[in-house]
Chain A
Amino acid sequence: MIPSSAFLVLAIVLFVLGVAAFFVKRDLLTQFMAVEVMLNAGSLAFLAAAKQSAKAEAQVIVVFVLTVAAAEAAVGLAIILHFFRRRKSVRTEDIDGLKG
């Protein structure tokens, strides 16, 4: 029987890796994937916490996280596509329209 703290540690490691990937990578698409990793770490933490009390609520939360992730992916990829059409690039260095 694996204690739920092991899953919690996995969720923490995954979240930190997602944050690191978000800051290290320089293209919008991969940064967006890093955000998805962070969302998944969040739902894993919910499930790990729910294992202690054997409740089904965590899976409901996972469904909501999934829905938000799907909506976010659709809108975000549309924005990236739109940006690529204008600038022919997806690198964050090229997004400096608001820079003083």
Chain B
Amino acid sequence: MIWIIFGILSFLCVGSVAAMIFSRNPAHNALLLVLCFASLGGVFGLLDAPFAAVVQIIVYAGAIMVLFLFAVMTLNLKEGQVREKRKRIPAVAAVLAVVLLAELLVVARKAFFRAAESVPAGAAAEPMGVGQLLFTRYLYPFEITSILLIAALIGAMVMAGTKEPR
């Protein structure tokens, strides 16, 4: 049963990214990516990570992708405006992608064997533990992320808010 759920979720995830490669409409791409991130949230749930799953769906599929859709709508691109002219580059990219896939699988091979040995019974990492770690051991990085967010916000406003330079 859990394998069926995993299969459906990973198919949705991989399929929507693959459809993104072939689609030419940026708005469709953004919506496909929402589907991908939502199903990835489900996969996080299967990994005994409920906090990551909920945050993934709310922040990623909700907030960040809405920001992308907002940008797509603001730019108001015509469908023909983003078209691929050169046919050679996708072929080269496909070959290189296959090479990269093989490389990564070879590198990760050791982890597969180790995983086969022992999988401890699912002691779910509860959100409480995440919060405790975030505000004790990882407090310093956590505060740095808030500075990062403020810097990014101010930078984005300065860049997008300036009136036509010329």
Contacts and interface: CB of A to CB of B under 8 A. Distances in A.
Contacts of A78: 155-157, 159-160
B134 A60 contact: yes
25 contacts: A2-B2, A2-B3, A5-B111, A9-B108, A12-B101, A16-B104, A19-B97, A21-B21, A24-B90, A29-B26, A30-B82, A33-B33, A34-B20, A36-B60, A40-B37, A48-B47, A49-B111, A56-B126, A59-B52, A63-B130, A66-B55, A66-B56, A70-B63, A74-B153, A75-B152
**Interface SS of A by simple majority:** helix
A51 B48 contact: yes
**Interface SS of B by simple majority:** helix
A31 B81 CA distance: 15
Interface string A1-43: 1111111111011111111110111110110111011001001
Contacts of B48: 51, 54
B159 A82 contact: yes
Contact-residue bracket for chain B? 35 or more
Nearest to A16: B101
A30 B55 CA distance: 23
Given A55-B125, A81-B74, A27 B52 contact: no
A53 B114 CA distance: 12
B75 A68 contact: no
A96 to B, nearest CB: 14
Interface of B: 2-3, 6, 10, 13-14, 17-18, 20-21, 26, 29-30, 33, 36-37, 40, 43-44, 46-49, 51-52, 55-56, 59-60, 63-64, 67-68, 71-72, 74-75, 77, 81-85, 89-90, 92-94, 96-97, 100-101, 104-105, 108, 111-112, 114-116, 118-120, 122-126, 129-130, 133-134, 138, 141, 145, 148-149, 151-153, 155-157, 159-160, 162, 164-165
Across the A-B interface, the 5 shortest Cβ-Cβ residue pairs:
A71-B152, A27-B82, A56-B125, A20-B97, A23-B93
A84 B74 CA distance: 10
A74 B40 contact: no
A93 B126 CA distance: 48
B60 A5 contact: no
Nearest to A43: B52
A15 B52 CA distance: 19
